[in-house]
Structure 1
Amino acid sequence: MKDKENKTEVCEVNVIHEDIVNKVRGIMPEETKLYDLAALFKVFGDTTRIKILCALFESEMCVCDIAALLGMSQSAVSHQLRVLKQNKLVKFRKEGKVVYYSLADDHVKKIFEQGFNHINE
């Protein structure tokens, strides 16, 4: 039935299927895990970080190279890399004075592949 004032769908039947609710409640992840997952997806919500991750799919790169590729300042790239590192999406290694960044693991690429599959449907 439509609510005449708000013109939205309103459920006319107020039945709680306790068996379904209890089943789902029993398999829901812990609140902290859901919070961590939401935080991870929030990291993917920034186009600059997405561009950096896409670049790192192709090659390990230093801040200077990423900045040149994206037309950004080194400090802006460093800031985004710090966020990616804090969220365990990238790792780094030092070679002399140069710091090289790469994807933390194959999970990052799989997340992207799933995302691309979804938007390309």
Structure 2
Amino acid sequence: MKSSSTSPLTNDSIQEVSKIFKMVSDPTRLSILFLLQKEELSVGVIAQSLSMEQSAISHQLKTLKTSRLVKSKRAGKNMIYSLDDLHIFSILEQVSTHIEEQEKEK
């Protein structure tokens, strides 16, 4: 096993990777990301789709926005949310494939 001093990532990079995994480890945030993969949505539509309160969705969107996974724009009185970066889905697709393979082996 290689020592941590030969890791291709710096400690700061490892911390950033860890933050991304923390963001997608929450089921609500993950559900929001999958909804936004399909189209831009308002808080109200996301809340209705997930059967949750708008305040709870707003809190999760703020967290995702701080992590630069989603972005927002104003449309009249509403804020419309969309994905800020599609790279996260290559990771999520690999995890999904892994899960599907495990399910087939059962």
Aligned pair count reads 101
How far did 1:21 drift? 4.1
* Amino acid across the alignment from 1:66: I
Per the alignment, residue 93 of structure 2 pairs with 113
Q: Kindly report the root-mean-square deviation, in angstroms, between the aligned alpha carbons of the 2 structures.
A: 1.6
Q: CA deviation at 1:44?
A: 1.0
Greater relative contact order structure (CA < 8 Å, 6+ sep): 2
Which structure 2 residues correspond to residues 1-121 of structure 1 after superposition, within 5 A?
A: 21=2, 25-121=5-101
TM-score, normalising length: structure 1: 0.76
TM-score by length of 2: 0.86
| Residue-by-residue CA offset, 1:59-118 (whole Å, 9 max, x unaligned) | 110000000111100000000001111111111111111110011122122222122112
Render the CA deviation track for 1:40-63: whole Å, top value 9, x for unaligned.
Answer: 101111101111111111111000
In 2: Cα distance, 1:95 partner to 1:21 partner = 51
- Deviation sequence 1:8-54 (CA, Å, 0-9, x none): xxxxxxxxxxxx746x7334311111011111101111101111111
CA distance in structure 1 between the aligned counterparts of 2:61 and 2:73, rounded to whole angstroms:
13
Task: Tell me which amino acid in the other structure corresponds to 1:91.
Answer: K
Instruction: Provide the C-alpha distance between the structure 2 equivalents of 1:32 and 1:109, rounded to a whole number of angstroms.
Output: 22
Q: Which has the higher helix share?
A: 2
Letter paired with 2:23: V
- Aligned identity (percent) is 39
